[in-house]
Structure 1
């Protein structure tokens, strides 16, 4: 089963609320979160970790996250626990938890960007689809979040060049492995996709969490 947990914030948390939420996490993770310079990054990172705790709990696993580890490419994991992946952008944070293989999720606020800086990250066919679209920015972020979700699920992150594989309908092949992907519609004004080594159901179960 794959489930997506997500949360959003409208304003800056006051100090009391921020520290009450931080105390739910190990000191090491608290310190990493507080190293961010702006409050939006602090809150997005904090919500991501709390969503992970909630997702694990709902899957029958308790964890303080003190046993959080990272692979060679910086992908976080918990030995012996369901796979997970965290993303955040704008005022949203989201976490996908999977009990059926690895999973990747990516969320991006749709905003103006200089597209030409990213042309090299796509195949000629993909780039043509983007530039021929009626909404080139939204199409760009659609393709970008698919690719990001795939490389996060794969586990090699940005060490796997985005232009090394091509997006096909509902599936992406990376070397000899197929990754399935699906759009997520819970985030107004954003593009979001989830990727998994297992075929994805028509509807991904989702929980909106209030903090």
Structure 2
């Protein structure tokens, strides 16, 4: 069974300064973090890297570090067979990881958006399913988290979003099947994992204090 590691930033941020959060990260990661002008983006990036650091240390890949991350042509990150995916939204940061699997995760807080600005990302069939739904926004998020998780798992670019076929519990990209695993961690959010093997997942809540050790 694999774990989804979840941090709720809003519960703990007041306890720590930026220097304390950056203390356990290498200079290359710190320099990248400091480029973020938006504090929310800065905190999400730093927390994601702290989660990844913790996951690596707890795995058989402990000889590696977060400085060993390599990226595919489309930006999919990995560390020598150790695959991971990070997502963040409105105060939450989540991580899923494992060796020798292709995996992607996405979380989204459900909030009002003007759907017409997203039409170009969906096929005609998907778009009709969204706008004809009793609650179009719910169907929009149903599609969005599945497509985002699958996009991260396969490592394709956003311009290929229409090529990702998604259904209730699986998705397909270029003929390959990926399993879709919804997970619940907050009633206001949608959470989804895409993985190329059948795997069970459980949620594990991590505190910032546990990451800063």
TM-score, scaled to structure 1:
0.89
Displacement of 1:195 in angstroms is 0.2
* Distance across 2 between alignment mates of 1:169 and 1:145: 12
Equivalent position to 2:205, from 200, 205, 208: 208
Q: CA RMSD in A?
A: 2.0
Larger CA deviation: 59-68 vs 168-177 = 59-68
Matched, 1:58 2:58: yes
Residue correspondence of structure 1 range 47-196 to structure 2 within 5 A: 47-62=47-62, 63-80=64-81, 82-159=82-159, 161-196=160-195
SS at match of 2:5: strand
Displacement of 1:124 in angstroms is 2.8
Larger CA deviation: 173-182 vs 62-71 = 62-71
Larger CA deviation: 129-138 vs 20-29 = 129-138
In structure 2, relative to structure 1, the CA distance for the partners of 1:140 and 1:83 (3 Å cut) is same
Matched, 1:28 2:11: no
* Distance across 2 between alignment mates of 1:71 and 1:187: 32
SS at match of 2:186: coil
Q: Deviations over 1:80-133 (max 9, x none)?
A: 4x2101111110111111234110011112121111121222223322322233
* Distance across 2 between alignment mates of 1:157 and 1:52: 23
Matched pairs, number: 207
Would you say the 8 A contact 2:105–2:148 is kept in 1?
yes
Displacement of 1:134 in angstroms is 3.0
Larger CA deviation: 134-143 vs 30-39 = 134-143
* Distance across 2 between alignment mates of 1:207 and 1:15: 21
SS at match of 1:77: strand
Displacement of 1:12 in angstroms is 8.4
SS at match of 1:73: coil
Displacement of 1:15 in angstroms is 9.4
* Distance across 2 between alignment mates of 1:139 and 1:98: 30
Would you say the 8 A contact 1:126–1:166 is kept in 2?
no
* Distance across 1 between alignment mates of 2:28 and 2:138: 37
Displacement of 1:207 in angstroms is 1.2
SS at match of 2:10: coil
SS at match of 1:185: coil
* Distance across 2 between alignment mates of 1:176 and 1:170: 16
